[in-house]
A and B are shown apart, each in its own frame.
Chain A
């Protein structure tokens, strides 16, 4: 089945630790996105990538980093510089670079602080 796979489902971070969230898609989509979801705040865009080896900051990029070495993979690293990392992280993809195509989501990773 085609889709977006995020792993792990649950992740715990210790003080000063960097953690990496995985996102893989087999939809052959060009564009991929990372969002953060906090209660009562909807989804906020962290980073997006419209093509391999290229990515742009979203609205809340500070404390996060990404890479896009393969079309199907877009991992997100939550660095120790992100002081409030506890949230539900969602990865999405779309056929074209934004444009007028809707985005499709994975089932998320819930990150908590130990």
Chain B
């Protein structure tokens, strides 16, 4: 079993829809959670960064962390064609090796 599981998609939705992207994890030591957006042939770009449980909002993006369920989500409101990309979740523990562990990435397409 992988430490971080992410549905690879692909996910295709119409413009303006609310998008929900999710990751589950098995390591209860993870405390820092990140979402990256990666356009084709580009490096990942940091979108959201959260610590422990709770919600964080930034414009059209909301990140949620539920540590009791070992489940994190990224919501995109009023989705735009420019949001079409691969979204990667990543997480890190405070103790130990402190390595960043990535999900497989979900490929998202927003159709005009």
Contact = CB atoms under 8 A, between A and B. Distances in A.
Interface of A: 4, 6, 33, 40-45, 48, 58-59, 90, 92, 98-100, 102-108, 110
B104 A41 contact: yes
18 contacts: A40-B8, A40-B104, A41-B104, A42-B4, A43-B88, A45-B100, A58-B99, A90-B43, A90-B44, A98-B92, A98-B97, A100-B31, A100-B92, A102-B32, A104-B46, A107-B41, A107-B42, A107-B43
Contact of B49 (A33, A98, A99, A102): A102
Contacts of B41: 107-108, 110
A98 B88 CA distance: 19
B84 to A, nearest CB: 18
A108 B42 contact: yes
B102 interface: yes
Nearest to A50: B98
Nearest to B44: A105
Nearest to B45: A105
A108 to B, nearest CB: 5
B63 interface: no
Interface residues of B, number: 27
A31 to B, nearest CB: 10
B43 A98 contact: no
B43 A105 contact: yes
Nearest to A106: B43
Nearest to A44: B102
A42 B44 contact: no
B37 to A, nearest CB: 11
A92 to B, nearest CB: 8
Contact of A42 (B43, B92, B97, B104): B104
Contacts of B49: 102
